[in-house]
Amino acid sequence: MKAKRAREFSHEDVSRLAFLNWEKDGCPQGHAINYWLEAEQQLKATWRLLVKESAPKKRSLISRRMVADKPKPRITIQISASPKAA
């Protein structure tokens, strides 16, 4: 399945998905249009999901300031002399 411009899918894309869904359901007769429309909807939903996930995440100015203002953790190492053996 190739991703194309927004909501435009080839006849082959829809046909292939409709056929796979039809096979999965046991090859019932007389429901070709239902499988075609379902395949179109599945392709459109997949496209919308891909577009949504690939969009850059926007962070608000407030959240950027909050991150920038956080103090950096300090690491302190304390070395103690080993006790003398008596």
pLDDT greater than 80 at residue 11: yes
Q: Which whole number is the average pLDDT over 12-37?
A: 94
pTM: 0.55
Percent of the chain surpassing pLDDT 90: 38
41-50 pLDDT, tens digit per residue, is 999 998 888 8
Give the dihedral of Cα atoms 58, 61, 67, 68; nearest 10 deg: 130
22-34 pLDDT, tens digit per residue, is 999 999 999 999 9
